[in-house]
Structure 1
Amino acid sequence: MGARKPELAEPIPFRFFKNRRKDVVAVTLQVFTPAGKDPINVVDVRLFAMNRAGANVPTSKGVSMSVNRLPDLAKAVSQALAKARELGLLDGGDDE
């Protein structure tokens, strides 16, 4: 086995608005500690929805995985972006 990976001291969020209702897609690097096991660094991609009080709250819609899978996720998203451009599904700008 290799050297132990460093643990994140605190979550590191990356966010963008999904729609005009101000729902948010959050991509967060964070530590997850399963019961009785060593902590692992994960990437969590989650939808946050606006509640009646006007606060964004996390939903069950999302996925968490080991950061070791982040290159696979990035590759899949890059391939989807390239295919969407090839098919003319995007209007051109990167800020859609």
Structure 2
Amino acid sequence: MAKRPELAEAIPFRFFKNRRKDVVAVTLQPFTPAGKETINVVDVRLFAMDRSGANVPTPKGVSMSVNRLPDLHEAVTKALKKAQELGLLDGGDDE
């Protein structure tokens, strides 16, 4: 298999705010583990506003190899479908 390209920089896809005005960001980005080659990851991360008003990343989130992105997509799709079936969603995006 041919080597896959490495991302040169982070690519943000979706940002949304929760009730506390923290930001949840979904990003494709390169990651270089200590002593290893760079890999591409998908990162879903909570950003909180610091005292200067800038959004900074928190430890709350998950990063995984982009190779696992289809599995993440499947799991989130199933969760969305079940939440809709149970009437848990009202169409708002503020939670």
**TM-score, length-scaled by structure 2:** 0.89
1:47-62, aligned counterparts within 5 Å? 47-62=46-61
Shift of residue 81, structure 1, vs aligned partner = 0.4
d(CA) in 2 for partners of 1:25, 1:47:
5
d(CA) in 1 for partners of 2:44, 2:77:
16
Shift of residue 36, structure 1, vs aligned partner = 1.8
Shift of residue 54, structure 1, vs aligned partner = 1.3
Q: Which residue of 1 aligns with 2:31?
A: 32
d(CA) in 2 for partners of 1:17, 1:3:
36
Q: Which residue of 1 aligns with 2:40?
A: 41
What's the C-alpha RMSD, in Å, of the aligned pairs? 1.3
d(CA) in 2 for partners of 1:41, 1:15:
17
Equivalenced residue count is: 93
Structure 2 stretches of 5 or more lacking a match?
none
1:1-96, aligned counterparts within 5 Å? 2-91=1-90, 93=91, 95-96=92-93
d(CA) in 2 for partners of 1:49, 1:15:
16
Q: Which has the higher contact order (CA 8 A, sep 6+)?
A: 2
Structure 1 stretches of 5 or more lacking a match?
none
Divergent runs of 4+, >4 A: none
d(CA) in 2 for partners of 1:26, 1:80:
19
What letter matches 1:15 in structure 2? R
Higher mean C-alpha deviation, range 34-43 or range 79-88: 34-43
What letter matches 1:60 in structure 2? P
**TM-score, length-scaled by structure 1:** 0.88
Equivalent position SS for 1:43: strand
